[in-house]
Amino acid sequence: MLSSHPSDALKKKAADLGFFLCSVAKAEPMDAEARRLEEWLNAGYHGKMGYMANHFELRTDPSKLVPGAKSMISLGYNYHNPQVAADPEAPRVSQYAYGEDYHKTIRRKLKELFRWVKEEYGDIQGRVFVDSGPVLERDWARRSGMGWIGKHTLLINRDVGSYFFLAELIIDLPLEPDPPIKDYCGTCTRCIDACPTEAISPSGYVLDGSKCISYLTIELREAIPTEFQGKLEGWAFGCDICQEVCPWNRFARRHHEPAFEPHPELLDMTQRDWMDMTAETFNTVFGRTPVKRAGWDKLMTTIGSRP
């Protein structure tokens, strides 16, 4: 095992690139997490997200992704933007989808970090991931001490809350791992109580993805089931309710990433602007954002402007 110096140098470089969180876990099979994932899938909580059941072994053993993997580096990139639409009746978009597609922005920085690792430490083998492969990112971030998985099943960091993207770099360089931290949710149930579709289990820590507003407005390609219609609370793409009520997000601070700034028209759009939005306007406002994934038809159906 190398000294902690390589980890410290890597964390400094990651910070220079804009990652406000960086921590290291030993790359090894995730037996306990594999069992939990299997139970979750068997319960049907993944809904129509069939891809969640694919590549099971790859998700739970990093050596299947990078032969000889020694270290899993987890990184956090801030996306918090507390701005809201000027019209309180306008449909809402999750903060993470305000700006440019995060996959592109963060992948560029991750590749630069990996190039730096190779320059510093030689012919290191590895791969980068930004919500783009079979990686249990929250579990790895928890293992590395970046935070704990809250009752809403999102990762929470004591210093910055939960409004951040996760990314990973798996390498065959042994680094000193960071110790995991304890769960600080305590007796709080705000996220459970606030979820309008009751997607979070009564005791927390288990999410029925098929009931989650983010799933209903993004992943589900068919009509939203009648049992959930009228329960979206104005969300057109994604949902931030469980994060908005989380006490730990009082520590969240606004991001400084220009690529994540919303299109100038987005937060000025009124409810009527949304209802009358054409495909051309959709492409103008959302063409470079994650919202493009849903598509104009899906978005308009979600907000009730199309049957």
Identify which has the larger pLDDT, 52 or 203.
Answer: 203
- For the chain, the average pLDDT equals 94
pLDDT for position 5:
62
Confidence of residue 3 (pLDDT cuts 50, 70, 90): very low
Task: Decide if 207 contacts 52 (C-beta within 8 A).
Answer: no
Residue 123 has pLDDT above 50, yes or no: yes
| Weakest mean pLDDT among 53-57, 76-80, 286-290 | 53-57
| Rounded Cα–Cα distance for residues 283 and 281 (Å) | 5
Q: How is the chain split into domains, by residue range?
A: 5-81+101-171, 190-302
Cα separation of 98 and 259, whole Å?
Answer: 9
- Which pLDDT score, from 0 to 100, does residue 295 have? 96
pLDDT, position 52: 82
**Which tokens go with 89?**
């009746």
Q: At 264, give phi and psi (nearest 5°).
A: -50, -30
pLDDT score of 4 more than 80: no
pLDDT in tens, 276-287: 999 999 999 999
pLDDT at 155 over 60: yes
pLDDT for the residue numbered 307: 56
pLDDT-based confidence at residue 62 (cuts at 50, 70, 90): very high
pLDDT digits 0-9 by tens, 7-22:
899 999 999 999 999 9
Contact 277, 186 (CB under 8 A): no
Active site residue ranges? 131
Q: Estimate the share of the chain in helix, then strand, then coil, as percent rounded to the nearest 5.
A: 40, 15, 50
What is the secondary structure of 44-85 as a DSSP string?
Answer: TTTTT-GGGGSSHHHHH-GGGTSTT--EEEEEEEE-------
Q: Which neighbouring-strand residues pair with 161?
A: 157
Q: What percent of the chain has pLDDT over 90?
A: 90
